[in-house]
Copies of this chain bind each other. A is one copy, B any other.
Amino acid sequence: MKETHSPEACKESIGAVRDTLYVLSGKWKLPIIIALSAGPQRFKELQRALEDITPKVLSKELKELELNDFLIRKVYDTTPVTVEYELTPYSNSLNDIIVGLRNWGMQHRKRIMSKSRKTKLLTA
């Protein structure tokens, strides 16, 4: 992070990262966006895709994502009414972040596994 080394740049960087973390707060917003990247989904489908999320939390997170322009809630005039959640073009602006977090998670898991293998070999 060469460009963030001066105190002013550090401060600006901390401010911008904190803004992003505030908008993406919690552990669910990005997983919901990834799940919707496969196409529009209904509430129950999303709940299934995310496995351990409660309906109350999913509902709250969807509202916050809608407020921040990441998704739209579409209501279809069927009987009964169908509701689907769909990503907006603005959600694409998060692609770099998502790819970065995904790649890091993959390498971190590999690192932990190779470390625990080494520990096992040493204590065997």
Q: Is A31 an interface residue (CB 8 A)?
A: yes
Interface residues of A in 7-65 (CB under 8 A from B): 7, 10-11, 13-23, 25, 27, 30-31, 34-35, 37-38, 49-50
Residues of B close to A88: CB separation below 8 A: none
Determine if A21 and B16 form an interchain contact, defined as CB atoms under 8 angstroms apart: no
Determine if B1 and A14 form an interchain contact, defined as CB atoms under 8 angstroms apart: no
Copies in the complex: 2
Determine if A17 and B105 form an interchain contact, defined as CB atoms under 8 angstroms apart: yes
Determine the distance from Cα of A99 to Cα of B100 in the docked complex, in whole angstroms: 10
Q: CB-CB contacts of A99-117 with B at 8 A, as 1s and 0s?
A: 1111111111100000000
Which residue among A1, A93, A98 has the maximum number of chain B CB atoms within 10 Å of its CB?
Answer: A1
Determine if A27 and B22 form an interchain contact, defined as CB atoms under 8 angstroms apart: yes
Residues of B close to A109: CB separation below 8 A: 16, 19
Q: Is A123 an interface residue (CB 8 A)?
A: no
Residues of B close to A38: CB separation below 8 A: 4-7, 10
A residues bordering B, Cβ < 8 Å?
1, 4-7, 10-11, 13-23, 25, 27, 30-31, 34-35, 37-38, 49-50, 92-109
